[in-house]
């Protein structure tokens, strides 16, 4: 399928949204490290003036730095994997990994709406597709569902094989299937040959990908 | 005189470390990790300055700034954020924020801004007190 300038613009906007969210998270990580390291420096200056240092307080600050470095490393790994999703036009994709990465990159958006976003049960499934377009589609699928959820809700995302293709499903435990407006999915669903269906009996909103992708 | 500061940010580890550093510098710090706690803290105490995160899950900093300025117009607010855009900064200043800082912030610059906030608030409070005294003197026939 040939991409139009509008499609390219939408793809760039998606890349920009994710990059902005990731950079904001990294800034927060740096801010905590900055304060924890500053606290250690403060304690050292106090010790130079003869005030005793509480080893537990030093240990807590050091642990905070180590924890934030782990957090930052996870964020950067996800950003790196996301950036590499543009390497090839079409390739065999591990859909569970791709969904997991999309969920991780969309968690901040869910956090801002005070909705907990998690992965449900996902059997192994793979498909030949464009990884970047698929992530754009999954991100817009989750973002559209978040629009109609309220603070305190939990959104669970799963994927399973279906007739040679795959089915991604969204559910809100204890509630009806989440409402997702198809218009909010726009370009990616057309580029990737997907259709959306409401499965009321299962309480899920499903995004089905056919086996033959363009 | 120690500066009384309300520190609002959803990053708990950030709140803990920064408040401890501010206390080591002689400040009296109250913390709030969400908008609800911030509003409660705001109602229960007088502050020389509020240091406010621009992006929080339950309310963004601009909306919180509006709430603060509506109930306490004299309050000096310093916005602290990981997403420092010129647009957000200009909007915050128009809404009455005293200053705007990008994370990670330098503690010396922040301390300086808090001292300025305290001085600015003292001037406002002194002016208000003088006006009140003047009004009383005018209304009474002494």
User: Hey, are the CB atoms on A35 and B17 less than 8 Å from each other?
Assistant: yes
Spatial distance between the Cα atoms of A103 and A120, rounded to a whole number of angstroms: 11
The C-alpha angle with vertex B118 and arms to B114 and B122, in degrees rounded to 5, equals 165
| pLDDT value of position B40 | 92
Spatial distance between the Cα atoms of B42 and B36, rounded to a whole number of angstroms: 10
| pLDDT value of position A183 | 78
End-to-end CA distance of chain B: 36
Q: How far apart, in Å, are the Cα atoms of B139 and each of A68, B125, B132, B133, B136?
A: 61, 21, 10, 10, 5
Give the helix/strand (H/E) hosting A156.
strand A154-162
Residue A194 has pLDDT above 60, yes or no: yes
Contacts of B101 (CB under 8 A, 6+ apart): B78, B79, B80, B81, B84, B109, B110, B113
Q: A68 to chain B: which residues are within 8 Å by CB?
A: 13
Which residue in B117, B121, B112, B120 sits closest to B22, CA to CA?
B112
User: Hey, are the CB atoms on B103 and A111 less than 8 Å from each other?
Assistant: no
Residue A189 has pLDDT above 70, yes or no: no
Range scoring the smallest mean pLDDT among A7-16, A146-155, B6-15: A7-16
User: Hey, are the CB atoms on B103 and A31 less than 8 Å from each other?
Assistant: yes
| pLDDT value of position A3 | 65
| pLDDT value of position A93 | 94
Block means of pLDDT (10 residues each) for chain B, length 142 residues?
91 95 96 92 90 85 89 90 70 88 92 92 79 80 62
Residue A36 has pLDDT above 60, yes or no: yes
SS3 annotation, chain B: CCCEEEEECCCHHHHHHHHHHHHHCCCEEEEECCHHHHHHHHHHCCCCEEEEECCCCCCCHHHHHHHHHHHCCCCCEEEEECCCCHHHHHHHHHCCCCEEEECCCCHHHHHHHHHHHHHHHHHHHHHHHHHHHHHHHHHCCC
Range scoring the smallest mean pLDDT among A5-19, A136-150, A162-176, B122-136: B122-136
Query: Any CB–CB contact under 8 A between A89 and chain B?
Result: no
Q: B17 to chain A: which residues are within 8 Å by CB?
A: 32, 35-36, 38-39, 61, 64
Contact between residue A186 and residue A140 where contact means Cβ atoms under 8 Å apart: yes
Residue A190 has pLDDT above 80, yes or no: no
The C-alpha angle with vertex A67 and arms to A64 and A70, in degrees rounded to 5, equals 150
Residue A8 has pLDDT above 70, yes or no: yes
Spatial distance between the Cα atoms of A144 and A196, rounded to a whole number of angstroms: 12
Of B8, B20, B55, B62, which to mutate for an interface test with A (greatest number of A Cβ within 10 Å)?
Answer: B20
Pairing of strands A154-162, A116-119: parallel
Instruction: Determine the distance from the C-alpha atom of residue B118 to the mean position of all C-alpha atoms in its chain, rounded to a whole number.
Output: 10
Question: pTM of the prediction?
Answer: 0.87
Question: Using CB atoms, which residue from B20, B57, B104 is nearest to A30?
Answer: B104
Alpha-helical runs (H) found in chain A: 5-48, 55-83, 95-112, 131-147, 186-192
């Amino acid at each position: 399928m040939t991409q139009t300038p509008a499609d390219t613009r939408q793809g760039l906007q998606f890349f920009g949204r994710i990059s902005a969210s990731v950079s904001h998270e990294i800034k927060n990580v740096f801010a905590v490290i900055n304060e924890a390291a500053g606290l250690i420096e403060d304690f050292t200056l106090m010790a130079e003036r003869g005030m005793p240092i509480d080893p537990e307080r030093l240990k807590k600050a050091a642990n905070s730095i180590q924890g934030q470095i782990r957090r930052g490393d996870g964020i950067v790994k996800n950003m790196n994997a996301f950036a590499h999703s543009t390497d090839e036009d079409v390739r065999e994709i591990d859909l569970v990994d791709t969904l997991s990465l999309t969920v991780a990159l969309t968690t901040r958006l869910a956090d801002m709406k005070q909705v907990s976003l998690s992965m449900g049960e996902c059997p192994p499934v793979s498909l030949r597709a464009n990884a970047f377009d698929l992530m754009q589609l999954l991100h817009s699928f989750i973002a559209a569902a978040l629009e109609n959820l309220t603070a305190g809700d939990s959104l669970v995302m799963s994927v399973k094989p279906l007739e040679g293709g795959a089915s991604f499903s969204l559910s809100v435990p204890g509630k009806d299937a989440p409402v997702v407006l198809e218009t909010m999915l726009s370009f990616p669903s057309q580029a990737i040959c997907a259709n959306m269906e409401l499965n009321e009996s299962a309480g899920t909103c499903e995004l089905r990908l056919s086996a033959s992708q363009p | 005189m120690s500066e009384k500061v309300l520190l609002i940010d959803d990053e708990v580890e950030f709140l803990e470390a920064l408040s401890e550093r501010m206390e080591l510098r002689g400040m009296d710090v109250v913390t709030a990790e969400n908008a609800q706690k911030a509003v409660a803290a705001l109602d229960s105490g007088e502050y020389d300055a509020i240091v406010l995160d621009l992006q929080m899950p339950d309310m963004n900093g601009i909306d919180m700034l509006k709430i603060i300025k509506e109930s306490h117009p004299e309050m000096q607010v310093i916005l602290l954020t990981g997403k420092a855009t010129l647009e957000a900064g200009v909007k915050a200043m128009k809404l009455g924020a005293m200053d705007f800082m990008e994370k990670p912030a330098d503690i010396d610059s922040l301390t300086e801004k808090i001292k300025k906030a305290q001085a600015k608030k003292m001037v406002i409070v002194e002016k208000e007190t003088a006006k009140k005294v003047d009004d009383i003197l005018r209304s009474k026939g002494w």
